[in-house]
Amino acid sequence: MHFQTPTRRLFLGGALTTAGAAFIAPHRARAQDAVALQLSWLHSVQFGGSYIAQKNGYWSDAGLEVSLLPGGPNAPVEPPVVAGTALVGISAADYTAAAVNQGAPFKIIGVAMQKNPFAIASLAENPVNSPADLVGKKIGMALANTPVLEALCTINGVDIAGIEVVPTQYDAAPLVQGQVDCLLCWATDLPVAMEMQGVESVTMLLADHGYAVHSQTYIATEDSIANRRDQLVALMKGEVMGWQDYLADPEAAAELTVEMFPDAGLDLATQKLQAERQVPLMFSELTEAEGFGWFTDETVAANVETLALLGKPVSPDLWDRSILEEVHG
């Protein structure tokens, strides 16, 4: 068993890097800095761009050795970033806002999903095509997401009292078993699973109905932004290059994902479908013009407005574009 305290790890890491730099510096331009990127879920093509960056050496060329830490049901992103075990974490604007309101010193330094992936999934014979269709329906979701439904209803003038919320665990079984009429889920996972199982479903993206919350956002602490700037720029540069490659060939990204993680139990066809479905969420006219991960004052303002509806008031200062400006500049 391997037991380390973060402080000791930091000390050791620091000592080794310093020693390493002293010995290696004459021979090599730059020693490899070891940093970690905390992913928000288990390995899958959801993080395809990062895998491409890893494989093509976009980070190692910049002197960065990045370990990609998988998430999981009980692996929140925020603690390792606060503790410093991960330099950057992949969060979402609403989660980051909640953490910041609890005192975490985070900034959002990049946005992978321009459009929020939350969707209402329903079966073709009893579809939910617009928020108004929700009235009189049973929706399965985690009760923790009630503010999301409330915000959607407020934005679209739907009376939430007409919707019956059924607390369910996060899978499609309650929908296909007929326990509920629709599910609140990501457009890129449960609907993909249903399609792979031969169940036809309808997805209504919340982002198409006024729900503006950046997702798969890159977060770092204020301390890292001030003191580990070079590493952050190098890491984000690799991400941008990786995701640009991803856009050129999502299928290849799916194949790489399955190949890199043989123990993750990934199915190639599922990964390809997911890879294709997340493209419109991550790439837009904005990213075409300004580059992957970009955000503007306008998109931030829209986020601030939706987050206020979610009961997570934040100021636009939560977003910090300076790292991306260095990456793209």
Partner 1 sequence: MSAGPAVLRLSRPLPRGLGLFLGLLIWEVAARATAGSFIIAAPSQIAGYMVSHSGLLWRAFGATLASAVQGFVWGNLAGVLLALLAVLLPRSERLLLTLALLVFCLPLVATGPILRVLYGPGCGPQVTLAALAVYYTTFLPVLVGLRAAPQGWFDLLRSYGRGRMTALREVRLPAALPYLVAGLQIAAPAAFLGAMVGEFTGAERGLGVLTVRALRALDLPATWAIAVIAAGVSILAFAAVGALGRKFDLAPPEVLMAAPVARSRRLWDAPAQALLALGVTLLIWKGSMEIFGLPRFFAKRPEDVWGYLVTSPGAEAQRARLFGALGETLALAGPGYLAGLGLGAGLALLLVLLPRLAGAVIPLSIALRSIPIIATAPLIVWALGRGAAGTITVVAVMIFFPTLIACQHGLARTPRAVLDLFEVYAASPLRRLIGAQLPAMLPAFFASARMAIPAAILAVTTAEWLATGRGIGALMATVASTSDYGMLWSAIALVGLAAVLAHALVAALERAVLARTSAEQLAR
In angstroms, the CA 93 to CA 219 distance is 9
Please identify, using beta-carbon distances, which residue of 287 and 303 lies nearer to partner 1: 303
Please identify, using beta-carbon distances, which residue of 193 and 275 lies nearer to partner 1: 193
Minimum separation from the CB atom of position 118 to partner 1 (A) = 14
Contacts of residues 249-254 at CB distance under 8 Å and 24 or more positions apart, as own/partner, are 250/45, 250/48, 250/275, 250/276, 250/279, 251/275, 251/276, 253/45, 253/48, 253/49, 253/51, 253/52, 254/45, 254/48
Nearest CA to 120 among 94, 135, 140? 140
Minimum separation from the CB atom of position 305 to partner 1 (A) = 19
> Dihedral of the CA atoms 235, 238, 243, 244 (nearest 10)?
140
In angstroms, the CA 184 to CA 193 distance is 14
Q: Are 196 and 291 in contact (CB under 8 A)?
A: no
Minimum separation from the CB atom of position 168 to partner 1 (A) = 8
Minimum separation from the CB atom of position 270 to partner 1 (A) = 7
Please identify, using beta-carbon distances, which residue of 11 and 23 lies nearer to partner 1: 11
Q: Which residues does residue 111 pair with via DSSP β-bridges, in sequence order?
A: 217
Token code pair at residue 272: 């390809």
Lookup result for tokens 């910041």: 100
Please identify, using beta-carbon distances, which residue of 18 and 179 lies nearer to partner 1: 179
Minimum separation from the CB atom of position 193 to partner 1 (A) = 5
* Residues at the contact surface with partner 1, assessed by CB under 8 A: 1-7, 9, 42-43, 67, 69-76, 78-80, 82-83, 85, 95, 98-99, 102-104, 142-144, 166-173, 176-179, 189-190, 193-194, 196-197, 199, 261-267, 270
Lookup result for tokens 């620091």: 14
- CB atoms inside a 10 Å sphere around CB 12: 11
Q: Are 181 and 137 in contact (CB under 8 A)?
A: yes
Please identify, using beta-carbon distances, which residue of 105 and 291 lies nearer to partner 1: 105
Please identify, using beta-carbon distances, which residue of 207 and 266 lies nearer to partner 1: 266
Minimum separation from the CB atom of position 134 to partner 1 (A) = 18
Please identify, using beta-carbon distances, which residue of 77 and 240 lies nearer to partner 1: 77
Minimum separation from the CB atom of position 1 to partner 1 (A) = 6
